[in-house]
Structure 1
Amino acid sequence: MVVVSQPGSDAAAEWASGVCDCCQDKRQCCLWFWCCPCSACRLSRTLDQCLCLPLLDVCGCIRPISFSMRVLVRQRYGIRGTMCRDCLCSTFCVPCVWCQMSREVSDRKLPAGLGDLISR
């Protein structure tokens, strides 16, 4: 059996913004356009993940990293979606996907991981 979507409750949320809504936050849009690898590392650290993973993804070595991070953010915040859509977005819109995840973490202002809880 192939799993294509994350299990969740009926109260699953939607993304706060779409993949192509990069210009909603002009500051983040510029950061992601001009310095995608640095921004991806910063977001990865915010989500308590290894800093090296985004560099492999953004530099084109391994594309599944942005896919995995998108699934992680969706799961952590209870966002409705499918792994198929995550895969497509992450394959064809890498900087846009990272920017969307960054906006989501910023907009939610919820602890993204254990490190955020400890630092408060």
Structure 2
Amino acid sequence: MADFDEPLCGCLQDMFSCLIVFCVPCGGICIQAYSVDKATSSGMVCPFLWSCCLGCIGSAVNRGQIRQKYHIEGSFIMDCLISCFCGCCAATQEYREVMNRERPK
């Protein structure tokens, strides 16, 4: 198992996701739902509802799905803490990670 390839506080590396998360209402939730869908092909509705209805816990569940797909180290408790205190940065990190790993080769 490995860590995320993308740094948590590297959101300025991708201005698109950074602007969506910080300037669009519910932008972080939408970016995260898109990332989970792109990684798992499970659709965007459930990840969106997880984050909307359960807040940090729902975001942690979504982050866990991405970690599970790419065999990234971590725990549910750490996902909850990151989602609670660094939610915007976490959403952009997950988006960048999925985009880099799913890029056609």
The TM-score, its normalising length taken from structure 2, stands at 0.74
Give the corresponding residue for 1:102: 95
* AA at the equivalent of 1:89: I
How many aligned positions are there? 99
| 1:66–1:97 contact (8 Å) kept in structure 2 | no
Cα shift at 1:48: 2.7
2:90 aligns to what SS in structure 1? Answer: helix
Give the corresponding residue for 1:25: 14
In the alignment, is residue 82 of structure 1 matched against residue 75 of structure 2?
yes
Cα shift at 1:53: 3.9
Aligned residues: percent identity? 32
CA distance in 1, matches of 2:78, 2:33: 23
1:20 aligns to what SS in structure 2? Answer: coil
| 1:41–1:54 contact (8 Å) kept in structure 2 | yes
2:35 to 36, 43, 49: 43
The answer to which structure has the higher helix fraction is 2
Q: Based on CA coordinates, which of the two structures has the bigger radius of gyration?
A: 1
* AA at the equivalent of 2:17: Q
Give the corresponding residue for 1:66: 59
Runs of 5+ consecutive residues of structure 2 not aligned to the other structure = none
Q: Which runs of 4+ in 1 moved over 6 A?
A: none
* AA at the equivalent of 1:18: P
Which stretch shifts more, 24-33 or 39-48?
39-48
2:54 aligns to what SS in structure 1? Answer: coil
The TM-score, its normalising length taken from structure 1, stands at 0.67
Runs of 5+ consecutive residues of structure 1 not aligned to the other structure = 1-11, 112-120
**CA RMSD between the two structures:** 2.3
